[in-house]
Structures are given as C-alpha cells and as structure tokens.
Amino acid sequence: MSDRYQGFVSTPIGKLLVKNLGLPSPTRLERYTEGAPLVSGTVALGGSGRLAASLPTVLDGLGIASTTDSSGDAKFKGLVFDATGLTESGALIALQEFFTPLLRRLETCPRVVVLGTTPEALQGSARVAQRALEGFTRSLGKEIGRGGTVQLVYVSQGAEDAIASTLAFFLSPKSAYVSGQVVRIGAHGSTHAESAADWSKPLAGKVALVTGASRGIGEHIARVLHRDGATVVGVDVPQAANDLQALMTELDGDQLLLDITAKDAPQRIAHALKEKHGGVDVVVHNAGITRDKKLANMAGDRWASVIGVNLTAPERITRELLDQLVINDNGRIIGVASIAGIAGNVGQTNYAASKAGVIGLVDSLADELKDGITVNAVAPGFIITQMTAAVPFATREIGQRLNAMSQGGLPVDVAETIAWYASPGSTAVNGNVVRVCGQMMLGA
C-alpha cells in the first residue's frame, strides 16, 4: 500500500524529472509515534485578540515550546495567530505582517493555526473580517508546501478555556493529512472541556465502540483509541470473526459479531455495552460499504444495502444508545462520512447520499445532545488502503495527486482525527465535519 510515485521522485532520476517537467514532488509527511512530544520544535505566537495572553500557558501545559518573539532568524515548527481582535477588513493586514516574514523560516511539515471568533455570533464589520479568515487559511494551505498544514479555529465567546485539545491535535503530527479545515469550538452546546489527567492517555478508563473494526480504517481507529487508553469494543460481521478476534485479543478489548443492519442490532449492542461495560464513552460509526454503479444502471438492492449499512444503521444504533442512556456523560458520537458526501462522485450516488446523510446526522443531533455528549464526523478523501490499491493505476494516481499535499492519506490519519474528537478535552468541539483529505483541490 506504499506510494510508488513518492518513492520514485525521491530518486536521482525522479528529482531530475520533477525539476525539468514540473511534476508534483510530495513531501514525506511526519506522523505521530507513541511517546514522542507533540511538537518537536518551537511555535511562534502572534496576534493581539482575547486568546493571546493565555496561549503560552495553554501550550506549556501541552509540553509545547512557544515564543512571542519572532525576530531574528530562528526557524519554527508552528505558527499560531490570534485573529479574534480583527474587527474590520482593514485590520486584516495584520495577517500579512505576521505571516510573510515567517513563512520562509518554517521547518519541514510545519503547522499553522489561525484563531478567530465564530462569525455567526458577530454583526457588521467584525463578522465580515472574521469570515475573511476562511479564504486566507484555505489559500495559505495550498501555498505552504513542504508537508505543511493550515487550519482555522473559530472560538466562541466563553470557550477560551476549551482550546487545548484542538491545539494539541492541529499543532502535532497527528494532523498530518488534515489541512484547510474550519473548526468551531463552543458553537453548539458546552463551551467548556475536561482537562485530561494525562495528555498521552486521554482515554484512560473510557470504553470505545468501533463498528467495522476488523480491518482497514476501522482497525487503525481501534489501535489509536487503545493507544490513548480506551478499552475498545469492536463490532463486525460474523464473516470477519477471525480478524476481529485476533485484533481484540491483541488490544485486550472486547468483540461483538453481528450485522449492524439487523432489526435487533441496536438492542443487542446496547445490551452488551450496559451488561459488560456499564455504558460507553465513545461511539465510532465506521462500518461502510460501496456498491458503485451509475444511477441509470443501479439496481434497488445496491442502493438499499449502501444506505442501510452506511446511514440507517448508525441512525438506529445512535438513537437506541441515547434512548437507553448507554452513552455516558461527556460521551462522543463520531461518524465516518466521506468527501463523496460533500463533492459527489461519478457512479456513487448511493454512497454519496449515505455519507452526506452522516453529515446530516451530525447537524440534526448537535443541538439536541445533553450532558456534554458531542457528535462530529470525519470526511476522508483518498486514503491508501487495500481497497484503493485495487483502483486502476491512472485513477489512483489522479486521486492521490489532486490535493495540496500531492499524495494519499493513511488510515491512521482518519484514526487520529477521531481520537481528537474522542478526547475528554474536546467537549466544546461539537457539530463539526473535518475533511481528512490533504486539502483536495477540486470539489471539496
């Protein structure tokens, strides 16, 4: 499942062709390894909004070195700019004044985060200026290069103390394949967050349910949640029994074999979680299938099976767990959508409808949930798996190159994003859909 093109362009002849033909030259992305520091370098801080004074303390609590003095010629691993104080369009020049001198002083795979105020909560020129930040960050994400990422985090009034988990994610290699995203903190429900007792094991003592857990992205989700301290309950179809049992044994987890579309599946899941674990803290709806055909040629069973597995089952399971109070306070509901549900895809009207529906599930529940329970989704782009390895070469190459990083992502990139949502420190992160796609150039 390696990227052969990326390997080729790192050879002497590959470098020559890249230089002479203008071919994409993807940077090998840095990814987090257990036990490593969140940031291996210094983060430069700028801006003068309502978050600026607290940023050094927040980063210090995460073990991240930072400085407000960016003079000289030192290099930086990350940049954080507090733009909450920009209240009219003329003030946007502060972005250029801070970033232009520093962009050439960034190390490989740098992280950039701009902090703003949720525009919907503002009026007049302040709303205009804050909305402008989206165009700035998305464009910078496509310029930064060298494996860099750029994010915009809107922080609602009152949510100032709830930014630590999000900064930990976006400033670290855990967000290697996430760029050009807009995240809202405190826009739905709680504006506060628990402090993780141990940032290296934020899910210690928590129980996490993962559907479709036996292989692929689901396997990596289970592994990352286990790494972060959770007891994982893996769910998959009986045909995947051997793979699921082997994985759950390795992770010291639990397993549940069933078809999530079965009429009694929600009740069986709820019963197992209550009886064996006393409830659940994290619910990840990962199980999904494709049955691709253009709509003109699509049979009814292809349509129904995709909608049933990808959308109706997560709806029914979520509702049952909520109605039976199986999800513990400060719990997490996380859906796996897709950029196909945002941008559409030829031959995938059924799949795209199901994944857009997952986003709809987030929208419908975000303001309904109580007791610190949140709902969010990830929307993966081209992720290198055994399934995508079977895609025709030309189609696969196009899929991997049409993003700001000129490469496909890995299953762990999706898993790390889910782990950020799952953190107890992410209670104010609610109602978001984050694309894990290397910032696709088209459609999404």
Mean pLDDT across the stretch 334-359? 96
Q: Say whether pLDDT at 2 is over 70.
A: no
Is 384 or 262 the better-scoring residue by pLDDT? 262
Q: Give CA–CA dist 444/441, Å, rounded.
A: 7
Looking at this protein, which amino acid is placed at residue 354?
S
Task: Quickly tell me which residue has 């210094």 as its tokens.
Answer: 42
Same fold, 31-185 and 207-436: yes
Q: What is the mean pLDDT of the chain?
A: 94
Quote the DSSP letter at residue 117.
-
CATH number (3.30.70.360, 3.30.43.10, 3.40.50.720, 3.30.930.10) of 31-185 reads 3.40.50.720
Q: Is 351 a catalytic residue?
A: yes
| One-letter amino acid of 369 | L
Task: Encode 180-211: b = buried (16+ Cβ within 10 Å), e = exposed.
Answer: bbbbbbbbbbbbebeebeebeebbeebbbbbb
Q: Which of 416, 414, 412 is nearest to 426 (CA)?
A: 416
With a cut of 60, say whether residue 444 has pLDDT above it.
no
Q: What does the domain layout of the chain look like in residue ranges? A: 1-26, 31-185, 207-436
Lowest-confidence pick of 81-95, 183-197, 205-219, 352-366 = 183-197
Amino acid at residue number 27: T
Q: Choose between 335 and 444: higher pLDDT.
A: 335
* Residue keyed to tokens 């000289």: 72
Cα–Cα distance, 353 to 359 (Å, whole number): 10
Q: What is the pLDDT of residue 442?
A: 66
Q: What is the pLDDT of residues 26-70, one digit of tens each?
A: 899 999 999 999 999 999 999 999 999 999 999 999 999 999 999
Over range 333-350, report the average pLDDT. Answer: 95
What does the pLDDT average to over 217-237?
98
Tens of pLDDT, residues 64-121: 999 999 999 999 999 999 999 999 999 999 999 999 999 999 999 999 999 999 999 9
Give the pLDDT of residue 192. Answer: 79
Write down the pLDDT at residue 24: 77
Statement: residue 225 has pLDDT above 70: yes
Q: CB of 334 within 8 A of CB of 282? A: yes
The per-residue pLDDT for range 289-325, each reduced to its tens digit, is 999 999 999 999 999 999 999 999 999 999 999 999 9
Cα–Cα distance for residue pair 388/145, rounded to 1 Å: 25
Residue 116: which region, alpha, beta or left (left: phi > 0; alpha: psi -120 to 50)? beta
Composition of the chain by helix, strand, coil, percent to 5:
45, 20, 40
Q: Are 65 and 96 in contact (CB under 8 A)?
A: no
Measured distance CA(324)–CA(368) in Å, rounded? 16
Question: CATH number for the 207-436 domain, one of 3.40.630.10, 3.40.50.300, 3.40.50.720, 3.90.1150.10?
Answer: 3.40.50.720
Tell which residue, 51, 30, 50, 53, has the closest CA to residue 40.
Answer: 30
User: Considering 5, 32, 177, 351, which one is annotated as catalytic?
Assistant: 351
Angle (CA) 88 89 93, round 5°:
115
Note every long-range contact of 72-76, with CB atoms under 8 Å and residues 24 or more positions apart, other chains counting. 73/105, 74/42, 74/105, 75/41, 75/105, 75/106, 75/107, 76/41, 76/42, 76/43, 76/44, 76/102, 76/105, 76/106, 76/107, 76/110
CA 221 – CA 235 distance, rounded (Å): 12
What percent of the chain shows pLDDT beyond 90? 85
**pTM of the predicted structure, to 2 decimals:** 0.95
**Residue linked to tokens 């079977």:** 390
- What is the C-alpha to C-alpha distance for residues 131 and 379, in angstroms, rounded to an integer? 22
**What 3-state DSSP class applies to 17?**
helix
The CA-based angle 36-41-46, given to 5 degrees, is 130
- Cα(317)–Cα(320) distance, integer angstroms: 5
User: Residue 233 is encoded by which pair of tokens?
Assistant: 């309950």
> Which pLDDT belongs to residue 443?
60
pLDDT of 13 over the 80 cut: no
Identity of residue 439: Q
pLDDT digits (tens, 9 = 90+) for 294-303: 999 999 999 9
